[in-house]
Amino acid sequence: AQSVTQPDIHITVSEGASLELRCNYSYGATPYLFWYVQSPGQGLQLLLKYFSGDTLVQGIKGFEAEFKRSQSSFNLRKPSVHWSDAAEYFCAVDGGSGGGADGLTFGKGTHLIIQP
């Protein structure tokens, strides 16, 4: 079965500094990978996704992620964080057959704290 690991439960970054959130997946075939962000008490907003092709994908709010098959990773990056980026970030993999048929499997999330 597919799984996603986010090794960092909490990350603290100073405003204006760069950010990298780690995500490792376990999946036998080509994974379909997503990053979502969740503000407290809110739903999930899609930041970006990877299905195939270019391994560097651009998302909303200045985020990007790089798919590295050799490292089974899909890390999220942002060159300069803003206080409004403070939130919970989830990496997710589409289960099995793609097309959303099996729902998403989420990592445990990384809580991002922004220091002024």
Counting contacts by CB under 8 A, is residue 1 touching another protein? no
How many residues touch another protein under the rule CB under 8 A: the total is 26
Amino acid at 94: D
Structure tokens at 78: 């942002």
CA–CA distances in Å: residue 31 to residues 14, 16, 28, 114: 32, 32, 8, 31
Q: How far is the CB of 109 from another protein (least distance, A)?
A: 5
Of 13, 81, 93, 94, the one binding another protein (CB under 8 A) is: 94
Q: How far apart are the first and last CA of the chain?
A: 41
- Residue 79 near another protein by CB under 8 A: no
Binding residue (CB under 8 A) for another protein from 8, 24, 62, 106: 106
Give CA 40 to chain center in angstroms.
Answer: 17
Which residues are CB-neighbours of 72 under 8 A, at least 6 positions away? 24, 25, 26
* Options 40-48, 55-63, 67-75, 79-87: segment touching another protein (CB under 8 A): 40-48
Q: Is 31 in the site for another protein (CB under 8 A)?
A: no
The footprint of another protein (CB under 8 A) covers 32, 34, 36, 41-46, 49, 51, 90, 94, 97-109
